[in-house]
Amino acid sequence: MEIERKFVADGVPEAIAQAAGRDLRQGYVAVDEQAEARVRADGDSHVLTIKGGHGLTRTEVELELDAGRFDALWALTEDRRVTKTRHRVDLADGLVAEVDVYSGALAGLVTAEVEFPDEAASAAFDPPAWLGREVTGDKRYANQRLAVDGRPA
């Protein structure tokens, strides 16, 4: 299970403006209202992730893939892809914000996700202003929706 809150920033936060990040390619093999199956390339790492549910708490299972299997699955994701650069920003209480700066068709969009050890920690979290507007549970900002529908209006 993962417990996370998601935010949309007004622009690239100063904390990461000059920092190097990790370039990610992410494509969706299957998406429906209950679950998603995606593949992600992060450098030489390739992962298949299955997620179930929406909102604050979701089921998540990850499986490592070799490059050949990734390539075979990647071919199935055409028209359901996102590219982004991910930055990690340390927050109070040992928390980390994963800040994604999108490119391609989603250029200009900046989101951040903060994962929590439990729901109590999530409820107690006071987000710094630079994280922007909270969109936890807003399906329009889920990566699979961004990959399929593009940037929300």
Average pLDDT over residues 42-60: 89
The two counts, helices (H) then strands (E), for the chain are 3, 9
Positions marked active-site = 28
Average pLDDT over residues 125-144: 94
Residue 16 has pLDDT above 90, yes or no: no
Q: How far apart are CA 111 and CA 7, in angstroms?
A: 6
Question: What is residue 62's predicted lDDT score, i.e. its pLDDT?
Answer: 96
Residue 44 has pLDDT above 90, yes or no: yes
**Would you place residue 82 in the very low, low, confident or very high pLDDT band (cuts 50, 70, 90)?**
very high
Q: How far apart are CA 125 and CA 119, in angstroms?
A: 10
64-73 pLDDT per residue, tens: 999 999 999 9
- Give me the helices (H) in 27-128, please: 67-74, 119-124
Instruction: Tell me the domains of the chain and their CATH numbers.
Output: 2-149 (2.40.320.10)
Average pLDDT over residues 81-101: 95
Find the helix or strand (DSSP H, E) in which 50 lies.
Answer: strand 45-52
Q: How far apart are the first and last CA of the chain?
A: 30
Q: Is the Cβ–Cβ distance between 80 and 28 less than 8 Å?
A: yes
Residue 2 has pLDDT above 90, yes or no: no
- Average pLDDT of the residues of the chain: 93
Q: How far apart are CA 145 and CA 147, in angstroms?
A: 5
Question: pTM of this prediction?
Answer: 0.90
